[in-house]
Amino acid sequence: MIPFLHSFPRRVVVFNPTGRYAAAQVASMKEAGTVPVAGITLGRGGGEMEGMPLLDDLRDLDEPADAAVIYTPPEGVLDAVRACAAARIASIVVAAEYVPLHDSLRAAQAARAAGCWMVGPNTLGLCIPDQGLLGSIAPSFCTPGRVAVLCRSGTLTLTMARLLTAAGVGQRAVMHIGGDAVCGRNPHEYVEALTADPGVDAILYCGEIGGDKEYALAERLPACRKPVVTMLVGRHAPAEKRMGHAGALVGGERETAAAKLAALKAAGAHTARDPAEAIGILKRLVG
């Protein structure tokens, strides 16, 4: 179960909310209806930021939180996630890019061991249209519906939400799982959970070159009870050249878009070459 889909968080805390980027995202979350109950920032406890109380430590909360959005610099992510895991915060969104690989592995392990759902690192977060926002996906790009959107690329997440809305295809949720090589939860875990969601009629997965996450997804697709549309970016990327961010690097033929799309298609996914084709398939599936 994906906790923020089952019940959208109402007690959200933000780690390091006072930086320029984080402050702008906190303002956007408030506009979307997600009002953080506190900011966690060492040395600023007892103060406030635009009416939001600031605390030195997560343990200073008067009531438990049900979600955390982490804008801590890369080197502080592991400690922040471990603190959230210790507090059993169900949903953890990690925005930071360039988190050291081993820190990402340990953070993902800590969150998973505590039963928490970690999104990211290197994520724009998620938007549940008309319910709330955790992160920086523009709510104006989204509209309520029954298609779950799941992307590896942040830019593509925003693009697909906007194009789907323009085409009249509403979204159950728009989620950027993170662009780094390691992410808190992998695509197949999202898809498995989404197939059990009664609010989802179809799933759009937008992957990319590099890594093997799409193969794990392909292995589980035969058991998926809802249609999955897949699109892979980077079809023309040169081998062994990083494209965009850490997760997008073709190390061999198996990691190319063509090879991954072939595996997904053989497993039963609907495959698309570009956004227009993906939207066309979804419109046929969900009307």
Residues of the chain with CATH 3.40.50.261: 137-286
The catalytic residue among 6, 102, 236, 245 is 245
Q: Which pLDDT score is estimated for 251?
A: 53
Per-residue burial over 234-270, b if 16 or more Cβ lie within 10 Å, else e, is beebeeeeebbbbbbbbeeeebbbebbbebbeebebb
Cα–Cα distance for residue pair 87/80, rounded to 1 Å: 11
Burial class (CB in 10 A: 0-12, 13-18, 19+), 68: buried
Is 55 in contact with 18 (CB distance < 8 Å)? Answer: no
Residue 245 a catalytic site member: yes
> What are the pLDDT digits (tens) for 251-283?
567 888 889 999 999 999 999 999 999 999 999
Query: What are the residue ranges of CATH 3.40.50.720 in the chain?
Result: 3-119
CATH tag, 3-119: 3.40.50.720
Q: For the CA atoms of the chain, what is the radius of gyration?
A: 18
Please give the CATH topology (third level) of the domain spanning 137-286: Rossmann fold (3.40.50)
What is the reported pLDDT for 254? 83
Mean pLDDT per 10-residue interval, the chain, length 287 residues: 95 97 96 96 94 97 97 97 98 96 98 98 98 97 98 96 98 96 96 97 94 94 96 68 52 80 96 97 93
